[in-house]
Structure 1
Amino acid sequence: MNSIATYLSRNPLYIVMLAIAGITLAVVACLLLLGRGETGKASDGKEAGKPELTPRQKKANDIVNVRDIDENFLYTREDGYLIGYLRIGNLNIELLSTEELEIKTQRLAMSFEGDRKNFDYFTLPSQVNLDPNKDFLKRIHQETEDIGRRKGINLMLQEMTRLSTSGENFEHQHFIKLWCKIGTNIKDTQNELRVRLNEFKERYVQAGIPCEILKDREIIKMCNLFSNPQQAPFTGGNISRYENFTIIKDRGNP
């Protein structure tokens, strides 16, 4: 050891080289430690020791891909799409002759001949609110003195009561979904989608099939059909159009 110290004291250049090597090794070690910490954070998806949230712990706002519903459009939050919906009205085809049904089918099919864009067609079960019908029949029953007519109204009331209590008062609503990717100018995207919504509506109307473009309140009701079809038809009244949005505040906020 004394010989090495004596040798180094006579050659100070080696001392400088050893010091530089030591500093370099220290810097490399620090960079490796920092890189390992960042890699672990990225791969684990955790922040400063906070555990990753499970799907059951996430907020409802994080799961639903809806940023806003305004006028005739639904705005998505994550992928930046503008969505519009149409509802196709009821048509009893059993009352149509074979010729009338063929004419409607051909007319509607020909109207789609030049349309090559995608759209979705889906149906949702919805509970029918029979309370207004029962109230109307009760009022007519009280105003009617004819025995035969009163008996017929009683039978209708009994049938409505049976449907309400048995859970059979459901109908299928038919919807069409159209969408556009929001571009640099959101007004142009709105106009483009509005034109396509009106084109679809006109196709069905010309074929003699009722069709309407859903507004914000009706879009909210349609969304409720996915999770709560029994209560969706009863949503109404002059209250906020956001009445059915479950807003969960972040922790720590007042």
Structure 2
Amino acid sequence: MARAFCSSDDEVRRVQSALDEAQAGRARTLAAFAVTVGSDGAVAGLLGLNEREVRVARRTVGKDDAHRVAEALWERSRLDRQPAPQDGTPEPDSTAYPNEAPAQPGPTPHVAGQAGEPESSPAVDAVLTGAWHTGADLTTLAAELGLDPDFLAARAQQLAAEGRLTPTPAPDHTGRHRRMVEGPPPPADETTYLHWHQPAPQSPHHQHVSWEQQPPVTWGTPVTAPQHAWDGYLSHGQYSGTTS
């Protein structure tokens, strides 16, 4: 029981010390309030206290100590009104996290033709290839397909650059004697000249038969008129609107 009493006595002493400290702080705050307002009666009426209690607190603390306490309370109030950082750390900068930077747009893929221009298709390419060989009018072809003649001209130029528009040799119906009249054959090189002028010895009858059985010599393929018209706008890359 003596031990229990000693423990209780220590607890009372601790509580009494805390109470005395709290009462001293109360008196200092009351005195600071009184010197700030400048009227003990006004402070007593505002706080619901006795004017004598306010006056005793002001006199006990002293005027100078009361002013210092008032300044400390004002400074604490000012700091409490300032907004504090949310986490106590500065906001993350976008440069501090290069891996989280927004991804840059990749290179724009190349699109054939300009904006609003129809794109070609295998069917259009097939029609252009057929029109190339037949020499069809480009304006009529564009009207039938519902496309711009300039677009067809540009597409035909691209097909020609790819080697897909190759002229088809026209059949040669002229005879051997007519071709001989129209123009001389191209000059033969030295090897061919020696080969022609050093034949093997043959009989006159055999030479006559061999000359008649030789295949016709083709000196060149004539170019038709529609192909000339297509070559004109293909070389410039723009359709002029007229055909030959």
TM-score normalized by structure 1?
A: 0.24
Please state which structure has a larger fraction of its residues in strand.
Answer: 1
Greater C-alpha radius of gyration? 2
Relative contact order (C-alpha < 8 Å, sep 6+): which is higher? Answer: 1
TM-score normalized by structure 2?
A: 0.25
